[in-house]
Amino acid sequence: MENNVKAKRRVIAILSTVIALCVIIGIVLLILHIRNNTDGRSLVGTDTTENYLNQQQSSETEAETEAPKPEFEISEAGVLTAYNGDNETVVIPDNVISIGADAFGASPRVDAITTVKLGKSVEDIDVQAFVSLTKLENVEVPEENGNFMFTDGVLIKADNSVFFCMPSIVKADYDMFNIFYDVISDNIDVETTASLVSGRMIANIEIKNSDNDGSWDGKHYLICNMFKTYGYSKNFDTPYSDEGFNDAPRHIAYEFEEGVVYSNRDLCGSGDTWIFTKDDIVKTEIITPRLIEDIPEVYNYSVIVFMRGENGALNYIRTPRKYLSIGGELDGLGYMTSPDEFAKEEGYIKVENGNIVYYPEKTFTARDLGYDEDYVIKYLIKGTDLSVEEYFIQQSQRFESAK
């Protein structure tokens, strides 16, 4: 009898062990099954099945709330704050009264937008509304909208308070002030204060009617009070006027790879340039002080002129004053010390640590430019008893060669 009891106990122990092993195996298989069906989420440790279900519900809720953005985001006041569409031609809805700053920058194809069609109700456009539209060519204005007109690549507000120059017409050596004279000034006949805008460049200008005596072609002249770009504003204590062009600074402004150039310079010898980058404003004198006839050394001072190069580069030409043609004449060439002296340099610039760094690519001597011994005989010592050698010795004793 005792043996039977022990046998039963042994069987029960074995069965208990088997059941326990089956339970353990079942739990392990369940965990593996859950892992394979939870996108990599683990339910072991602090996570539970309840937590997993909550996570699934939360993800579904987030997916439901992340609805696509509307094509146009328009405030209750009728301000277009963002265009999220991907059309190359953007048709502004008729309920838009104003277009806000950088309203098109959110578009996934902002670099492809070429045309904007204004709605009939648009009354105001921020000066930086089109700042991201680098390929914009055309702004269509419906007949019902009497607030704007578009002509020759320029969008003009009816009260002549804002002029938007399209990027498509700002090319190579053609800047927004050129556009004013060639396009805008033919369409206005008023004296006014306005904003002249091209891309990220904004100039606050006064437009004056010119008392033209026939010495130049302009119907108007400009006074520039402020120039703004990259968030920097340059206010001029003495506003720059280009009246007459001959002795007054001429405004020049254009974009390049690293920033924006604004300069004012006259055709005879003085002016300044400001280079605006994302980080700084750099100023440099681009033309030497006016010449003094009894100080010939002034003719050796270099004149530096910037111009927009290919692929967004900012190129420069450095030329001693005596080799710079003013009005078609080289009135300082008589101070040449040798046909082999420095006469011209070409290259490009970079703005580094707040400074302009020049990278020359080509250098020319006077001889390279055609000012050789034959030129000296024909133009510089004609009617004298000097030989070419004596002439250059004399000039070298008077002052140093150009550098």
What distance in Å separates the CA atoms of residue 225 and residue 233, rounded to the nearest whole number?
Answer: 10
Structure confidence at residue 343 (pLDDT): 96
* Structure confidence by residue, pLDDT tens digits, 68-114: 889 999 999 999 999 999 999 999 999 999 999 999 999 999 999 99
Structure confidence at residue 236 (pLDDT): 75
- Residue 40 clears pLDDT 70, i.e. is over it: no
What distance in Å separates the CA atoms of residue 125 and residue 122, rounded to the nearest whole number?
Answer: 8
- Residue 39 clears pLDDT 50, i.e. is over it: no
When the pLDDT of each residue in the chain is averaged and rounded to a whole number, the result is: 80
- Residue 61 clears pLDDT 80, i.e. is over it: no
Structure confidence at residue 38 (pLDDT): 47
Structure confidence at residue 138 (pLDDT): 95
Tokens of 7: 């046998």
- Residue 47 clears pLDDT 90, i.e. is over it: no
Name which of 64-73, 326-335, 362-371 the model is least confident about.
326-335
What distance in Å separates the CA atoms of residue 302 and residue 50, rounded to the nearest whole number?
Answer: 80
Give backbone dihedrals phi and psi of 350, rounded to 5 degrees, phi first.
-130, 150
Structure confidence at residue 46 (pLDDT): 44
Three-class DSSP labels, the chain: CHHHHHHHHHHHHHHHHHHHHHHHHHHHHHHHHHHHCCCCCCCCCCCCHHHHHHHHHHHHHHHHHCCCCCCEEECCCCEEEEECCCCCEEECCCCCCEECCCCCCCCCCHHHCCEEECCCCCCEECCCCCCCCCCCCEEECCCCCCCEEEECCEEEECCCCEEEECHHHCCCCCCHHHHHHHCHHHHCCCCEEEEEEECCEEEEEEEEECCCCCCCCCCEEEEEEEEEECCEEEEEEEEEECCCCCCCCEEEEEEECCEEEEEEECCCCCEEEEEEECCCEEEEEEECCCCCCCCHHHHHCEEEEEEECHHHCEEEEEEEHHHCCECCECCCHHHCCCCCCEEEEEEEEEEECCEEEEEEEEEEECCCCCCCHHHHHHHHCCCCCCCHHHHHHHHHHHCCCCC
Range 258-285 average pLDDT? 78
Distance of CA 162 to the CA centre of its chain: 19
45 band by pLDDT with thresholds 50, 70 and 90 = very low
- Residue 403 clears pLDDT 60, i.e. is over it: yes
Range 43-62 average pLDDT? 51
- Residue 42 clears pLDDT 60, i.e. is over it: no
- Residue 290 clears pLDDT 70, i.e. is over it: no
Greater model confidence, 284 or 355: 355
Beta-sheet pairing, 201-209 with 192-198 = antiparallel
* Structure confidence by residue, pLDDT tens digits, 238-255: 555 555 444 444 778 888
What distance in Å separates the CA atoms of residue 200 and residue 203, rounded to the nearest whole number?
Answer: 10
Give backbone dihedrals phi and psi of 64, rounded to 5 degrees, phi first.
-70, -35
Q: Tokens 């920033």 map to which residue?
A: 259
217 band by pLDDT with thresholds 50, 70 and 90 = low
Range 102-127 average pLDDT? 96
305 band by pLDDT with thresholds 50, 70 and 90 = confident
Greater model confidence, 42 or 116: 116
Structure confidence at residue 302 (pLDDT): 83
Q: Which amino acid is at 354?
A: G
Q: Output the CA torsion sign for 53, 55, 57, 60.
A: negative
Radius of gyration for the alpha carbons in the chain, expressed in angstroms and rounded? 37
What distance in Å separates the CA atoms of residue 303 and residue 31, rounded to the nearest whole number?
Answer: 81
* Structure confidence by residue, pLDDT tens digits, 328-351: 677 788 889 999 999 999 999 998
Structure confidence at residue 234 (pLDDT): 86
Structure confidence at residue 244 (pLDDT): 46
- Residue 30 clears pLDDT 60, i.e. is over it: no
Percent of the chain with pLDDT over 70: 72
**CB-CB contact of 349 with 358 (8 Å):** yes
Tokens of 99: 């277009």
What distance in Å separates the CA atoms of residue 184 and residue 48, rounded to the nearest whole number?
Answer: 71
Tokens of 11: 């069987």
26 band by pLDDT with thresholds 50, 70 and 90 = low
Q: Which amino acid is at 280?
A: D
